[in-house]
């Protein structure tokens, strides 16, 4: 089922945020619009796959940056095909 809320573009890639441990971590791109588009397999809010969302807590910073790098291309693809309900 698709959300009737307009999908917001993901925020810019953050450098790092501090957690309770001493190592900084990359922030999640989640924008609290959580609905997987059946056609693309991407969340309508953050444009991650369900596997990327589920794994986020155990990904290292390099892996998180790789996910972030894919989001602008996914947004362009969604915008070009009108895949999401807006």
Give 13-73 as a DSSP string. PP--B--SSSS-BPPP---S---B-TTT-BBTTT--BHHHHHHGGG--HHHHHHHHHHHHH
d(CA 65, CA 22): 19
Q: Model's pTM, two decimal places? A: 0.70
| Six-digit token string for 6 | 């307009």
Digit-coded pLDDT (tens) for 17-70: 555 555 688 999 999 999 999 999 999 999 999 999 999 999 999 999 999 999
């Amino acid at each position: 089922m698709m959300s009737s809320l307009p999908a917001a573009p993901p925020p810019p890639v953050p450098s790092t945020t501090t957690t309770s441990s001493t190592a900084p971590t990359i922030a999640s791109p989640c924008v609290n619009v959580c609905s997987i588009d059946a056609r693309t397999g991407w969340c309508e809010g953050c444009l991650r796959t369900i596997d990327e969302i589920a794994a986020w807590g155990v990904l290292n910073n390099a892996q998180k940056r790789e996910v972030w790098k894919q989001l602008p291309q996914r947004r362009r693809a969604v915008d070009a095909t009108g895949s999401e309900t807006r």
